[in-house]
Amino acid sequence: MCKDVGHSRIPKHNGILGGLPGNCQKSLFFYAKSGWLPSTEEVAAVYLTCRFFSILALTRWSSSRYHAALMLDCLPERIEPLGLADVGRSFRGEVPVSKLVRLLPSLWSADDVLKVRLDFRLDERRMRVLKGTIEGSVSLVCQRCLKALRFPLDLSFRLGIVASETDIDRLPEGYEPLLVSGEPLRTFDVVEDEVLLAVPAFPLHEGGQSCVMVYENQPLAAKNNPFSILEKLKT
């Protein structure tokens, strides 16, 4: 369940989406889901949806008139980075490690949960950026003893949101590219990319943490030489 943190006065507008710029209205429709919810949840869902888009209408005027920051205490299933950076939105929430499917083969256990924050902004150069943090730990498999290895994560990242490969070379130092096509991205995929870059490809316990190889190379057994009898005859 999402809740909004921070508020400001809401300008008058026509309808829930009427106060949003046209490009924002189009880019934010991915939050809606088709079909009706069960009757017990329908009223709450309608209220939260209306509240969400009403607050988004605060971006109708430029930040020079006033600034309204919105922090949602949940991570959307999908994100549209270009639109979110234009209106300046932030999200925080938890990501179950079990949802990071590309990481699963490297894990001892998938029971952990990561705390994630994503901030979409226009920087001082009017460049669309995504700044984020990931905190928690994952349980990897030590490649020496084949037992659990706790690997802490305390990541900070800065991504430049670009729409074409030609824009990648224009990114300033310290920014990694986030290439978008205009279609919404899975939020978990963006988080998983950063985690995969952080975890070691060959994890090992450090020092002498009772970590010994499960399998050791054994010398090959000596085979009987069929010509050994000739050596005996010579002697």
- pLDDT of 8 over the 80 cut: no
**pLDDT attached to residue 54:** 45
Place 7 in a pLDDT band, splitting at 50, 70 and 90.
very low
- pLDDT of 210 over the 90 cut: no
**How many C-beta atoms surround the C-beta of residue 168 within 10 A?**
14
Q: What residue has token string 């978990």?
A: 188
Place 73 in a pLDDT band, splitting at 50, 70 and 90.
confident
Find which of 61-65, 102-106, 170-174 is predicted with most confidence, using mean pLDDT. 102-106
Distances (CA, A) of 117 to 26, 95, 133: 24, 10, 5
Look up residue 39 and give its two tokens: 């009757």
Report which of residues 135 and 165 the model is more confident about.
135
**Average pLDDT over every residue of 22-49:** 47
Q: What is the pTM of this model?
A: 0.64
Place 1 in a pLDDT band, splitting at 50, 70 and 90.
very low
Place 130 in a pLDDT band, splitting at 50, 70 and 90.
very high
**pLDDT attached to residue 211:** 81
Q: Which range among 38-52, 89-103, 136-150 shows the weakest confidence by mean pLDDT? A: 38-52
Q: Tell me: the pLDDT tens digits for 138-184?
A: 999 999 889 999 999 999 999 999 999 989 988 998 899 999 988 89
User: Domain locations in the chain?
Assistant: 1-73, 76-205
**Average pLDDT over every residue of 177-199:** 95
